[in-house]
Amino acid sequence: MQLIRQIRNMNIIQSAATHRSSSVAARKLFYPSADRNKEPILSVLREYIRSGSNQNFLEISSGSGQHIAHFAPYFPQVTFYPSEVDTDLLGSIAAHTKEFSNVQVPVLVDVTTNCDCWGDKTFLENSLDYIYNCNMIHISPLACSIGLFKNAGKLLKQNGILFTYGPYKIDGIISPESNVRFDESLKARNPEWGLKDIRDLEKLANENGLHLIEIFDMPANNKTIIWKRE
């Protein structure tokens, strides 16, 4: 079953707490887009993250760390694992998240590599409840999407969920026009970047034991896609 749902644009609540410590604040990076989309994404996570204890959530490409810092207080039953391939960002992620007891220290993860070596073998096969990836698929080569689905297929438990967020092509068509221009600008920066087609991602998912169960329309012509491990 595939459902398409609308997430209304919500009021953005800026967290004063994230700006309060001067020494830490100096190391925190703030992405405006992460501030804009964190609340709509949280509303999707609330629909899929269960109430049971001892659950875990790995974020691939945590960027500044703003997202996990926003989500973690709402899900005390979940242990969050931020990760990044860019070592320059690990300090910002740690600065944003260190006050939360349910967030682990960020680990270096290149999603194109085999998960066996991530975080000093922190992640075992069939051990994760949730994997989350925001705004990486279109700003990276196809190899990153391949790695994401391949590793999600290994790491997620049966019925585990992969959340992906960003703009997508559907059946070869990009819309609206602003996303067409965005795709062109990404390809101008790197010919291997650009919006990926949901149908191609679906094939990739299916090859790795995942299937698409729901698509949420998000603000600013983005989507959150829910992929479930069989």
Ligand X SMILES: C[S@@+](CC[C@H](N)C(=O)[O-])C[C@H]1O[C@@H](n2cnc3c(N)ncnc32)[C@H](O)[C@@H]1O
Q: Which residue, judged by CB position, is nearest to ligand X in the bound state?
A: 63
**What's phi and psi for 187, nearest 5 deg?**
-65, -30
Contact criterion met (CB below 8 Å) for 26 and 145: no
C-alpha closest to that of 109 among 160, 153, 58, 156: 58
34 or 226: whose CB is closer to ligand X? 34
Give the binding range for ligand X (CB under 6 A) out of 73-81, 82-90, 184-192, 200-208. 82-90
CB of 206 to ligand X, least distance (A): 22
CB of 52 to ligand X, least distance (A): 26
SS3 10: coil
Q: Does residue 85 interact with ligand X by CB under 6 A? A: yes
Q: Does residue 97 interact with ligand X by CB under 6 A? A: no
Candidates 18, 56, 97, 140: give the one binding ligand X (CB under 6 A). Answer: 140
Residue 135's CB: how many other CB atoms inside 10 A?
19
Alpha carbon distances (Å) from 127 to 66, 69, 91, 206: 25, 22, 26, 19
Q: Please state, in angstroms and rounded to a whole number, the distance separating the CA atoms of residues 219 and 20.
A: 28
Query: Taking the C-alpha atoms of 209, 42, 136 and 105 in order, what is their torsion angle to the nearest 10 degrees?
Result: -90
In the region spanning residues 144 to 163, those forming contacts with ligand X, defined by CB under 6 A, are: 144
Q: Does residue 192 interact with ligand X by CB under 6 A? A: no
Amino acid letter, 226: I
Give the binding range for ligand X (CB under 6 A) out of 5-13, 14-22, 78-86, 195-203. 78-86
Q: Please state, in angstroms and rounded to a whole number, the distance separating the CA atoms of residues 206 and 7.
A: 26
By CB under 6 A, the count of residues binding ligand X is: 21
CB of 162 to ligand X, least distance (A): 14
Q: Does residue 224 interact with ligand X by CB under 6 A? A: no
Give the binding range for ligand X (CB under 6 A) out of 17-25, 84-92, 183-191, 217-225. 84-92
Q: Does residue 208 interact with ligand X by CB under 6 A? A: no
In the region spanning residues 34 to 73, those forming contacts with ligand X, defined by CB under 6 A, are: 34, 60-64
139 or 215: whose CB is closer to ligand X? 139
Contact criterion met (CB below 8 Å) for 135 and 218: no
CB of 194 to ligand X, least distance (A): 13
Residue 19's CB: how many other CB atoms inside 10 A?
12
Q: Please state, in angstroms and rounded to a whole number, the distance separating the CA atoms of residues 26 and 105.
A: 18
**For binding to ligand X (CB under 6 A), which residues are involved?**
31, 34, 60-64, 84-86, 89, 109-112, 134-136, 139-140, 144
